[in-house]
């Protein structure tokens, strides 16, 4: 069986990643991986994102035993400190207050894993976001309207999050949403899958 004949699965519960993937692939399945996303003491943010992307892809191997599985993980970092998902309004306020007027690095790691052959391809991309100086009222209004409690760094770029920034430095405008499509296309081509010819 050739690589391109393996069906594709997105290991994610994110509707935003699914919507992005539909831009380059007409047919794919998706399922939510159940993994522990806790950082390991001593690992860098890049190592953490890479490890979690691989874990997500491999977590679905038993359910999808002859597939290419896409795993993706994104971390927000400020001066090397990982800013996790806030999960509460108070933590979201604290995160955005900390980011105000500063540059935050968003690290996104991709894994393309063949569950039958265990072939693994990886890609990592960093995006630098400059936050503008935010007032307390703006932070509270943003959190109330967007409810970004399950988002790394407490924001959603695809919504009002764009109003928080002065600039974004990125190779791919999709990366900040969580799925670098240019990098993913490169991995798919390496695997014998051409989105234009699929």
**pLDDT tens digit string along 114-142?**
999 999 999 999 999 999 999 999 999 99
Average pLDDT over residues 157-181: 91
Distance, CA of 62 to CA of 116 (rounded, Å): 10
Is pLDDT above 50 for 194? yes
Average pLDDT over residues 189-196: 95
| Structure tokens, 2 | 């050739």
Distance, CA of 54 to CA of 177 (rounded, Å): 19
- 155 pLDDT tier (thresholds 50, 70, 90): confident
Is pLDDT above 80 for 198? no
Distance, CA of 29 to CA of 95 (rounded, Å): 34
More confident residue, 174 or 1: 174
Rg (CA), the chain: 17
**6 Rama class: left (phi>0) / alpha (psi -120 to 50) / beta:** beta
pLDDT of 1? 36
36 has catalytic annotation: no
Mean pLDDT of all residues belonging to the chain:
93
More confident residue, 117 or 177: 117
Average pLDDT over residues 34-49: 92
Query: For residues 106 and 175, is the Cβ–Cβ distance under 8 A?
Result: yes
Dihedral of the CA atoms 45, 50, 52, 58 (nearest 10)?
-170
Distance, CA of 107 to CA of 73 (rounded, Å): 8
| Structure tokens, 81 | 């400190």
pLDDT of 44? 93
pLDDT of 3? 47
Is pLDDT above 60 for 4? no
Distance, CA of 49 to CA of 71 (rounded, Å): 10
* Residue written as token pair 């764009």: 162
Angle at alpha carbon of residue 88, lines to 52 and 73, rounded to 5°: 15
Query: For residues 28 and 185, is the Cβ–Cβ distance under 8 A?
Result: no
Q: Tell me what percent of the residues of the chain surpass a pLDDT of 70.
A: 98
Listed range (38-42, 118-122, 158-162) with the worst mean pLDDT: 158-162
Read off the DSSP letter of residue 132. P
Average pLDDT over residues 73-80: 91
Distance, CA of 108 to CA of 172 (rounded, Å): 11
Query: For residues 80 and 46, is the Cβ–Cβ distance under 8 A?
Result: no
Average pLDDT over residues 22-41: 93
**pLDDT tens digit string along 88-97?**
999 999 999 9
Query: For residues 17 and 26, is the Cβ–Cβ distance under 8 A?
Result: no
The catalytically annotated residue of 36, 73, 79, 133 is 73
Q: For 3-190, CATH number? A: 3.90.950.10
Q: Which of 104, 121, 122, 135 is nearest to 47 (CA)?
A: 122
């Amino acid at each position: 069986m050739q690589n391109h004949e393996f069906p594709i699965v997105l290991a994610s519960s994110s509707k935003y990643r699914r919507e992005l993937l539909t831009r380059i692939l007409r047919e794919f399945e998706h399922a939510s991986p159940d993994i522990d996303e806790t950082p390991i003491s001593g690992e860098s943010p890049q190592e953490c994102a890479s490890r979690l992307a691989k874990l997500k892809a491999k977590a679905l191997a038993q359910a999808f035993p002859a597939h290419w599985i896409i795993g993706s993980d994104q971390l927000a970092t400020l001066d090397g400190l990982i800013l996790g998902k806030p999960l509460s309004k108070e933590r979201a306020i604290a995160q955005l207050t900390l980011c105000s007027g500063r540059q935050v690095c968003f690290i996104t790691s991709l894994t393309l894993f063949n569950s039958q052959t265990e072939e693994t391809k990886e890609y990592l991309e960093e995006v630098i976001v400059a936050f503008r100086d935010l007032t307390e009222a703006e932070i509270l209004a943003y959190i109330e309207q967007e409810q970004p409690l399950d988002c790394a760094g407490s924001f959603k770029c695809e919504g009002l999050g764009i109003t928080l920034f002065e600039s974004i430095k990125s190779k791919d405008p999709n990366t900040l949403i969580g799925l670098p499509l240019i990098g993913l296309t490169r991995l798919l081509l390496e695997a014998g899958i051409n989105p234009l010819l699929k």
